[in-house]
Amino acid sequence: MPELPEVESARVAIERAGLGRRIVEVDDSDRYECRPHLPGEIRAALLGRRLTAAHRRGKSMWCQTSDAGPDLGIHLGMSGRILISGPSSGQGAGEVVEGGDYAGPATGRPALDVWFRFTLAFADGGTLRLLDKRRLGRVRLDPDLSALGPDAQSVDRAEFRARVGKGTAPLKARLLDQSVLAGVGNLLADQALWQSRLAPRRPAGALTATELDRLHDELRAAIDDAVRNGGVHTGSVVAYRKAGRHCPRCGTEMACATVGGRTTWWCPAEQR
């Protein structure tokens, strides 16, 4: 599913191309994507308003709206992407800005209209659309983020140590717990642990302060690299998360097990 870097790319797309444009129509008819709101409820709340700011914590994204309107929460689910088209004429006409889940190599096949689950239409003729082939995203007003921990990209060392470095849960499971730290998914966790040379099955509370600081710094580096390079799929160890592949640092065959309910790969020689 989209992890923090992919959601950040969607947030940046909205910030770049979706702010300040007056909303004249809203398609919120998909009852599953827009639950618990009834069709027309989100539309009534947003008509005539503008998106004024785009925010993110972990994998959750929301936009402020003008005139003290409600926040618009957009969760990308397992495979969501945001596509924002420019005005129908003038500067930016025909331009499409997008972000979200990695779509894979271009195939030349257009997305099916049925995959667009939510749409804002702007007065200038452009749109903001949520493309969600698997229909697992969510659009809601004033989303509740109280259960989320601090954002994994911005948490400082001290808070990271206090939140991650305790308990008997496996270290990877601790990283994946969104109430502990928001934004780390399966690939990002494997990448950060490999960069830190830490075993995913070690009890989180057994790590030293030095090890936790190293993990904090390497997690931040992995996030920054993924944001810069286009997503978590670009991580230097991700391509080696397969049977028979070998650690790109030392050549040891990669090990695999289920940790924290997720398929996990690591180098058994270096990650201890």
150, 201, 262, 270: which is the annotated catalytic residue?
262
Residue 2 designated active-site: yes
The stretches of 202-260 forming alpha helices (DSSP H) are: 209-229
Residue 211 designated active-site: no
pLDDT on residue 130: 97
pLDDT on residue 21: 98
Distance, in Å, from the CA atom of 91 to the CA atom of 249, rounded to the nearest integer, reads: 48
Looking at the chain, how many residues does it have? 272
Q: How many CB atoms lie within 10 A of CB 195?
A: 21
56, 59, 140, 174: which is the annotated catalytic residue?
59
The distance of Cα 241 from the centroid of its chain, to the nearest Å, equals: 20
pLDDT on residue 114: 83
Residue 59 designated active-site: yes
Domains in the chain, start-ordered, CATH in brackets? 4-141 (3.20.190.10), 157-266 (1.10.8.50)
Beta carbons of 236 and 165 less than 8 angstroms apart: no
Distance, in Å, from the CA atom of 141 to the CA atom of 122, rounded to the nearest integer, reads: 19
Beta carbons of 257 and 201 less than 8 angstroms apart: yes
Of 87, 90, 219, the C-alpha closest to 151 is 219
Query: pLDDT digit string (tens) for 85-141?
Result: 999 888 888 899 999 998 776 555 566 778 999 999 999 999 999 999 999 999 999
Strands of 23-27's sheet, edge to edge?
Answer: 23-27, 116-122, 127-131, 81-85, 96-100
Query: pLDDT digit string (tens) for 29-54?
Result: 999 999 999 999 999 999 999 999 99
Query: pLDDT digit string (tens) for 188-219?
Result: 999 999 999 999 999 999 999 999 999 999 99
Residue 262 designated active-site: yes
Sign of CA dihedral 167, 265, 217, 53: negative
Distance, in Å, from the CA atom of 14 to the CA atom of 26, rounded to the nearest integer, reads: 16
> Quick one: what percent of the chain has pLDDT higher than 90?
91
Say what the pTM is: 0.94
Strand, helix or coil for residue 25? strand
Q: How many CB atoms lie within 10 A of CB 261?
A: 10
Query: pLDDT digit string (tens) for 61-85?
Result: 999 999 999 999 999 998 999 999 9
2, 5, 170, 200: which is the annotated catalytic residue?
2
3, 6, 8, 33: which is the annotated catalytic residue?
3
Sign of CA dihedral 22, 25, 126, 139: positive
